[in-house]
Each structure stands twice: as structure tokens, then as C-alpha cells.
Structure 1
Amino acid sequence: MEFIKEEIEDMSYPEPSRIKHEDTEEQIEQMEVKQQHKLNDIKKLCDFKTQGTKAKMLHTCSRENLNKHMRVHTGEKPYTCSQCGKDFIFSSHLKKHLIVHSDERPHVCSLCGKSFSRLISFKRHQKTHDGVRDHVCSLCGKRFTRAAHLKRHQRIHTGEKPYKCSYCDKSFTQSVTLKSHERLHNGEKPYHCTQCEKSFKDAGGLKIHLRIHSGEKPFNCDQCGKDFISSSHLKQHLIVHSDEKPLVCSLCGKSFLRLNSFKLHQKTHDEVRDHVCCDCGKSFTKAGHLKRHLRIHTGEKPYKCSYCDKSFNQSGSLKSHERLHTGEKPYYCTQCGESFTHLSSLQTHIKKCCT
């Protein structure tokens, strides 16, 4: 086991002269024997070698650093990052990690301009340019830049899932996946949005959420031009362009792609309109429809055009209007290639010309 030398903590055992005078010489001798046995047992566990630049040196756990080193065996990680929730064995490891959250990235790649806070990350990145993938899977030949990535990959072949949930019987191939899963049980959400009060169980959830504030939608539908904040949202949307509608209403025969749409439709038969306008008494099946309706009473038009002084009560109306300024025509006919500003125009075109 690799041993990282840490700052020495004074864990020396009391000398016989410091032990209270009530202890007899026999008791002192027994204490020293027990302590020596304990140390010998630990040495059996953790004798190891480290390779230096010029010579091999043998290190063994001493009394001074025993307490800190024992965390390697026990898995104890008492130092927690207040910004992302990650835990560390040593305070020095936490200190190094905190650079990740700062803006300081002194190591810059001369080939692509990407910058890094740590030298080791920079060196690993350089391997991607050099094509150095010197860790090879003996079963399928796939190559990796890091030994840890190869080890993780090999679990695909072995089926090994060494990380077991302490709350249920599920197990995982990666420790990070286990940690994220266990937050479903314990309710922990260590990733906090700095712009609102929401928090998340993993960094990925926070990253996607932040796009709501920034307006970033990097995932684009190549069939209608609509943009989405996540790949999963795009995947769900793509069903709209398929002919698959597995959910069929038993009362009217109408079919739906999504369960949510199907359930909302059923409300129209059941006459469940549980969202009621307090101004006029009109009722709606969805809270979003009620919210939109209330703008008729308030006159609120929160969606303002960035090209002229017009404003709208719906985001969809604003987006449609702004295409008049930009000339954007995101809706394409797959049969003749003609493009349109609005989806309704495309649908009308298909019915008249391409059926």
C-alpha cells in the first residue's frame, strides 16, 4: 500500500515517569507490553516500500504518525470540503483539493489552451494529445491513460461491484456512484446553488440546474431546432417526432407518448379541474394553465422582446415573435427541405403539399 507522508502529530505514548504515581511497576510493564503488541500488529498490516529517485527506502508506521496512517486502513475521512461535500483523510489533501474551487489554474496546455489547477491533472491531460494510453485491458484490448480507469473498466468483464449500499442490497462498480445513491436514503444534498436556495445530491444535478439561471441549452433537436438543458430532456422530446404512442385512452381512443400527458388528458374525462381562478372562477387541469390565465386579469407580460419594445404573457409567444427579427426558421420539411418560422406552418405545409 502506498504511503503518503503527512505532517507529524504528537501521538507518543506517555513515559513511565509521567504515569500517575498510583500505578505500580507491574501495571506500567503490562501497559507497555500491550502497546508494543498493538504496534507490532499494525506493522504487520502496513509495512511497505516506496520507490525513491535514487534508492529504495523502507518505511514502517511509527508511534508518531500511527494515528494518521490508521485512517488509510479504517477509511476514516474527517476533513470535509464545505463547497462540494467531498471527504479527505488528511488536512493537506483537503487543502490541495480546495484549489479546484478557486479560479487559480496555473498549468496551461500549449496545444489547446485548457488550464488546470494541479500539475498531475495537467500531465494526464497532455497524454490525450500525445495519444499515450499505456494501460491496456488484457481481455478486450481497450486502452486507458490512467491505471484507475483501467481498473474501473475491468469490472465490466468481471461483474465485480465492490461498493455496497449500507441501507439496501444494491451494489456499485464505483465509489462515487455508491455515495450518490446513499444520498437517496439519507437525504443529504451537499451541492448548493449560489443563486437560489435549491440543493442537490450530486454535482451533475447542480450543473444542469445552473443552466436554468444562465439560459444555456446545449442540447439541440435536429428535427425541429428546439433546445434543451440536458441530454435526458432531449431524449424525452425526440419521442414527439416518432410515431410511437403507447398510451391509449380507453374512453376516446386518443393516444399519447408520455404518461404525464396521458394522465392530464384523463382529467378532462373525469372533469377534474382542481386549479381554480379566484378572480373569475374558471378552472384548469394544470397549475401552469392557471398561472398563464391569471395574466389576463393582472395584465402582466413578463416576456420582453430583446429587439423591440413588445412584451408577451407567454415565453412561447416571445420566442415565436423574435424569429421575425432574426429570420430563424427552425422547422424543416423532411420531404422537400422547405423551412418555417412556426411549427403550425410546417404542419399545414405537410398536410397540403407533402401527403
Structure 2
Amino acid sequence: MTVGLAHLIRRPIVPADAAVLAELLNAIEVVDVFGEYYSEEDAADQINAPLLDLERGTVGIFDGDRMVGYSSAAHKLLVEDVHRVTLSGGVRPEYRRRGLGAELLAAGIASAKALHAIHHPGLPLAVDAQNNALNDSARVCYQAAGMTPVRWYSHMRHPLGAAVVDLPQPDGLVVEGYSVAGDAEFFAVSNEAALDRWGGAPMPPEQWRAFLGWPAFRPDLSFLLRDADSGTAAGMLLTFSWDADTAATGVRDAQLIRFGTRRAYRNRGVASALISHALRSARDAGFDRASVEVDADSPTGSNGLYERVGFSVARTEVRYSLNA
């Protein structure tokens, strides 16, 4: 335990911590810049995620009633080759450079190993964490723990308005909006596409239901492309928008969060058509911009696809990994 910090309380995060977690995350955002702001309800969505093991996978550090740091390890239920446990965490800026970041990272790695031993002991384990590429303190902390950079992600923005490019739909495909009746097809396409992404894994049904239960989900800006002849769902896109982001920045941002194309329909303009339709719909709904996170190393050339429809890179994040 770090000298001078013995009075701080360490314990697992519980659902009643939503308000103090939101306040901590917003304090971290001011310095670290992830482009994310939280309401108490948003933090509750994170805490109550179906697969998050609060007792084994989280640690909160408290100074009285104030949360000053946290760590969270999210395991995966459906895994094929490597079990990738994703860590998130951070320390309130005024409590930094006192060893808490290293302590929480070590706690997160220990949590990842414990969860792995329960859920996928026969598979290799990789522990991942992601941070702003400009955050040198985080880089030093990760590297001291033996983590190395393995992937870069571009956070891209589109100004909407006159910058929206109208692209035609591929021949034989028709667009339809999200509906409860079509939910299973959105889910199936999303999971198939996830298998072809680096580190991708299918989302269990209970996680999908919770995901689409977030107040930020915009079904009116989420779309499916369907093969008119066979009725097969070819591609899908889900859009979210957080009120806390709008309140903090004054900008209504339509975030393209989950998207994918079935293998049989790739290289036919499905992704471009869906993105163009979503951008046009967001503009017409009064949004100020759109944003997306893109794997800069994706073999499908995602960066180029988004640049062609008017997106530009706003910031870069780095994924660090430890083979444990």
C-alpha cells in the first residue's frame, strides 16, 4: 500500500456507486480526453452490465464518500481461440503520481487472471487496456506492467450538414430501420461480423439485450440492409447518442457504435450505403456531427472507407496487451 494513502478504502464497486463513479469518470475525462461524459444512469448501465463480475472484477478506491480511482476487468463468455479480458480504470487527476494507477492496474490484471481461471482455463489469456495515444503516463504504467502496444484505433468525426455524401444502395438490397421484429437479424449479422475483427468475439444474448436497453440507443438511426430476393439480412448499423455528452459539450453526436456486413455480401458497397444512410438520417434529425471508432489496422481498410464519406481523425487510442 502506498505510503500516505493508508486511509483510502479499497473495495469492489457496487450498484449504489453509480453517482460517484460518474463523477470520477467525468473528472478523468477533463485530463485524459476520451470524448465520453457520464450521467449517473450511464454509470449504472456500466456497473449493471450482465457479464461484469463486480465482486471479482472491480475495485474502487475511496477517500471518504468520494471515489478517487477504479479498476474493472470485463471477461468474455463466448471465446474461440484467445480469451481477451478488457481492463478499464483511472485515477482522479489530483490523486495521481502517488502509485494508485500502478496499484489499480495490478489489481485489474489479477482480476483478469481470476476470471479467466473460472471461465476459460483451457485457453490462452490476453489482458487488454486502451488509452489515448497522447497519455504518456498511462503508457509508462502499462509498459511497467509488461503490456505492449498491439493495436491503434482512430476516433473519427463527420460534420454532417453539406458534408454528407449521398451514396446509392447496392442493387438488389433495400434498407429498413431497426425494429423489435427484426432484432434477431441485427444480432446475427453483428455477431458474424465480430468474428472477423481483431480480438472480436460474439456477444451473448443477455449482453445484447442490455446493450440495446441503454437510453442512448437510437433505433430511429439504426438500419439493416436486406437482400430483396432472398430476404437475407446483409448488413447492419447501430447508432447511440448520450445526453451527458450533449450536456457537457453542447454538441449532439450520433455515434456509430456497432456495424457489420455478412461475408457473402462484402465488397458490394453495403457498409458505405449503411453509413451514408445513417449520416443523412442523423443530419435530418438535427444532429451536429457523427463519430465512429475504427481499427486503423483493419484489413478491410475501414479508415479509408470512412474518409471517403467525409470522416476525419479526431484522436487516436492505443490498445496495450499482456499475454498472461
Structure ranking higher on relative contact order (CA contacts 8 Å, 6+ apart): 2
Structure with the bigger percentage of helix: 1
Q: Give the TM-score normalised by structure 2.
A: 0.20
Q: Give the TM-score normalised by structure 1.
A: 0.18
Structure with the bigger percentage of strand: 2
Structure with larger Rg? 1
